[in-house]
Every structure is written in structure tokens, then in C-alpha cells.
Amino acid sequence: MTGNKSRCQNSISQVLLTLLILCCLLQCHSRPHSYDSKSLAEISREVSKYSDIAQQIINLAVYGKAQNRSYERLAEFTDTIGNRVSGSKNLDLAIKYMYNALNQDGLENVHLELVKIPHWVRGEESAVMLLPRNHTLAILGLGSSVGTPPGGIEAEVMVVESFEELKKRASEAKGKIVVYNQPFVSYGETVAYRASGASEAAKVGAVASLIRSVTPFSINSPHTGWQWYQPGVPQIPTACITIEDAQMMARMARRGQRIVVRLTMGAQTLPDVDSYNTVAEIRGSEHPEQVVLLSGHLDSWDVGQGAMDDGGGAAISWEALSLIRDLGLRPKRTLRTVLWSAEEPGGVGAAQYFQQHKGNISNFDLVMESDLGTFSPLGLQFTGSDKARAIMKEVMKLLAPINVTSLEKHGEGTDINMWMKAGVPGASLHTADQRYFWFHHSDGDTMTVQNPEEMNLCSAVWAVVAYVVADLEEMLPR
């Protein structure tokens, strides 16, 4: 009796195992293949099905009722609030403004996420050349700079063209104001002088540093930005001067003329303050936990209007959701717009967002940032796997009607870098940005730089890419 029972149980087990294998095979055939196993032709067919929706988005943004909407929204915002430096009351007002505007626009899950951000205050500042003639220098103190003593600093100037020259002439620098007249090569290379010029000058005994503004073009316009003091190095006051004044003092120095400058800066760093990243969504229909993130930063410098840097990026990241909502579209995954706080001091708000959300990193499909102007769009810069790049190339083909199909290497953006380093695909908007650094971090960053037709095109690109990626059968492969 025991033997018969054992044989019976073995037979049942074999039948169950066979049924289980059949079920697994059926499930595998019923599920779509992952993008790792799909051919490029299959991917192309899937993406091409979105051509009609892409055209609807383009028509609405560029020719339809939403035409110029992102521009008008940005103009009203920047005209009302003005510039929005980290830690300021204006940034608080900007966050409240956007929170209310996103709610009034009917977007979903509008909320604020708490972050701590730096609070640097410029104070009164001035610089006057006393010798070889009297001349007022246009300056902008650099973020995190210390101030001068109350009476200012009066000292002889030493002009250098590079860090190498500074090191060679180190014995001459003690007690002087170092003026850097470095040529503009590219922002990525030349910004090193703004970032660490003060500490390099302090190492050789300088009492202050003045840095030629990091820009290829000037109409006597100084450009500010953040700078970092190196640990263990004396902290000296530092500011940017114009190209014109830097070159003038370089010419004077080459003639052997003695240059004396009086620098007065009331800059100070106050304790960190509470701020918020501002968030709005269109919730996904099938996989709401999976996210395509669009972003720009809400803070700016305390000059100009912060329209280009980065009001435009914030505006199109809002507009993309509005366009999709207006068309009654709801992708499979959640579209999430985040307007970052305190990007200018080094992506402070975004770094805290990453820490708060990285536990869910496997559900972040694509992170997008626009922070190099919303001029006429050329395409996207993208960081991701080869397979993800192949898919994104197909998505970009949907933008052929507005001739924005380029997919370049290396997604950029202070606020999304940590996601890309962690393996999440990332994309940044690439525009015809030759004039971007003309106005960057200066009084010239106003609505006059912005063009409504160009912003329409940027909004269309942002919305098409975000929607299609969020609605594909599978997430982008890592």
C-alpha cells in the first residue's frame, strides 16, 4: 500500500511540474520581449506608432492654442518675482508662486519637498582703480566669498594670465590683489579660474583676487558665479571684473605701470535655510511607480531676471506636462516635473532629492534637465547604454517635422549628474546656445534674451520625448 501511494504521488508531481513549465512558457510568449532581446527593427516599429501623437504635441505647442504659452508664463513669473538667489526671500516667493501656478494648472500631486540650502548675501560692493588713473571697476562678488574689512582693501595689483604664471611669479604675490586675465577657451575649462582662483591666489600670499568674467563677449558686463575655498587655505575676498577692465590692467602691467585698487565687499555667508524642490506630476496609467523626470532649476543669481538661467528650463518642464494634459494623454509611467532649489551653489537641492529618492532608483526610467538655455533646439545630449541610445535615436526621429533629430553623447546637468553616474539614463536639451555665456550670471539675463517661437519648439521636444519614453512597453535598458 505504501509503494502504490509513493508511485501515485510521483506521478502527480510530474504532472504538476509539466503544467508549471507550460504556464511559464505561455507567460513568456504573452509578455513583450525586453529591449535587450528586441531587434532594432522591432523597436523602430514600436516607436513609429507614436508619430501621430508626436505631431499632435508639436501642433499644439508650435501652432495651436498653447503657442507662446511657456514664454508668457516665464515672462509673468520673472517680471513678478525677479532674480532668486539661494537662501533669499525672492526664492521663497518664487517657490510659492510656482506651487500655486502648478496647482491652478490642474497638474497632479503638486507638492514641495524640504531641503536645506546655502544663504550667501552679496552686500554693498565696489572697486576703484586709484593708479595709474582713477577708474571705477564694474564688479560682481562671487558666491561664498568673504567680505573685506570694513574699510576695504587697498593694494597693488599683480596681473597674471594663468595659474602657471601665478606659480612662476609666486614670490611677487604677497600682499597684492591678484587679477586673472585668463582667455576664454570654453566654459568647462575657463570656469576653473572662477571656482578656485581665490584659493590659488591666497596660497601665494595675495590679499584678494579679481577674476576676468567667464564669458566670450562683454559690453562692460561682469558675470558672477559660485566659488569654492580649499580647506586649510586662507579665505580672501574674490569678485569678477569685466573683460575690458581685465585686459586694460594687463596692458598697463605689460608697460610696467604700477596699478593700485581699492576693493570693498560686504559679502557674508549666513546659516543654511529651509527651502523646497517643487514637484508636479501626471500619474502613470499602468506603472505609476516608474518615473520619467523632467527638470530645470528655480533659483538664479541675484542679478538680471534669471530668465535664461534657468527660468526657461523650468518653464518648458512645466509646459511639457501641460501639453500632455491638454491632449488628454496619460502615459503608462508617471511624468514628474521637478523644479530644483539651489542649483547655483552646486546642485544642493538636487543632491538632497537624490538622497531622498535613490532607494527607488530602479524605477527611474529617464532623467531630463534643461539648463543651457531654451534657444532654438538642435537635439538632445544623452547618457545611457548602447541599447538605450538606439531607442532614443528612434524617439528623436519623431521630431523630424521640426528638424530636431540629433542625439549626441554626454547628457549634461548639475542636477541630474548623480542619477547618470548611478546608471540611470539621462538627457539634456541641446540648443543653438552660442549666446548663452554672453548673458550667463549677469545683469543681461532678462526676458529680452528669450524668444517665444524658440521656447515653443523646446517645449514640443521636451513633451514628445518625455511622453513617448514614459509610454513605451519597457523601461529604457540600463
264 near 130, Cβ under 8 Å? no
- For residue 208, give the C-alpha cell: 584678494
Contacting residues for 361 by C-beta, under 8 A, at least 6 apart: 419, 422, 423, 424
Copy the grid coordinates of residue 180: 586673472
Q: Please list, in sequence order, all residues whose beta carbon lies within 8 angstroms of the beta carbon of residue 18, skipping any fewer than 6 positions away.
A: none
Q: Where are the alpha helices (DSSP H) in 347-416?
A: 348-357, 386-397
375/398 Cα distance (integer angstroms): 20
CA 128/CA 66 separation, integer angstroms? 50
343 belongs to the catalytic site? yes
Cell numbers at 455, concatenated: 521656447
| Burial zone of 387 (CB within 10 Å; 0-12 exposed, 13-18 middle, 19+ buried) | middle
- H helices within 187-277, ranges in order? 187-203, 243-254
Instruction: Record the cell numbers describing residue 142, joined without a space.
Output: 562671487
Question: Under a CB-based contact definition with an 8 Å cutoff, are residues 43 and 470 in contact?
Answer: no
Is residue 405 within 8 Å of 379, Cβ to Cβ?
A: yes
Which residues, including other chains, have CB under 8 Å from residue 351's CB and lie 6 or more apart?
Answer: 418
User: CA 81 to CA 95: how far, in whole Å?
Assistant: 10
Q: Which of 125, 200, 343, 394 is catalytic?
A: 343
List the catalytic residues.
Answer: 343
